[in-house]
Chain A
Amino acid sequence: MKQALVDDTEDVSLDFGNEEELAFRKAKIRHPLATFFHLFFRVSAIVTYVGCDWFSRSFVGCFVTVLLLLSFDFWSVKNVTGRLMVGLRWWNQVDEDGKSHWIFEARKVSPNSIAATEAEARIFWLGLIICPIIWIVFFFSTLFSLKLKWLALVIAGISLQAANLYGYILCKMGGESDISKAAASFLSQTVFQTVSD
Chain B
Amino acid sequence: MLQRGSADSENDGGPQFAEVFVIIWFGAVTITLNSKLLGGNISFFQSLCVLGYCILPLTVALLVCRLVLLAKPGPINFIVRLFVVIMMFAWSIVASTAFLADSQPPNRKALAVYPVFLFYFVISWMILTFTP
Contacts and interface: CB of A to CB of B under 8 A. Distances in A.
A52 B14 CA distance: 14
Interface in A27-58: 52-53, 56-58
A59 interface: yes
Given A52-B7, A53-B7, A59 B45 contact: no
Interface residues of A, number: 17
- Which interface residue of A52, A53, A57 has the most chain B CB atoms within 10 A? A57
B9 A57 contact: yes
Contacts of B75: none
A92 interface: yes
Interface residues of B, number: 18
A149 B18 contact: yes
B97 to A, nearest CB: 17
Given A52-B7, A53-B6, A98-B103, A60 B17 contact: yes
Nearest to A156: B25
A63 B43 contact: no
Contacts of B106: none
Given A52-B7, A53-B7, A59 B43 contact: no
Q: For chain B, what secondary structure do more than half of its interface residues adopt (helix, strand, loop), or is it mixed? A: loop
B31 to A, nearest CB: 18
B45 A92 contact: yes
Contacts of B13: 60
A66 to B, nearest CB: 11
Contact of B17 (A59, A92, A97, A147): A59
B80 to A, nearest CB: 28
A129 interface: no
A97 B103 CA distance: 11
Contact of B14 (A53, A59, A92, A100): A59
B41 to A, nearest CB: 4
A152 B22 CA distance: 9
B130 interface: no
A144 to B, nearest CB: 16
B43 A58 contact: no
B41 A98 contact: yes
Contacts of A56: 7
B77 interface: no
B5 A57 contact: yes
Given A53-B7, A92-B43, A97-B41, 4 more contacts: A57-B5, A58-B12, A100-B43, A152-B18
Interface of A: 52-53, 56-60, 62-63, 92, 94, 97-98, 100, 147, 149, 152
Interface of B: 5-9, 12-14, 17-18, 21-22, 41-43, 45-46, 103
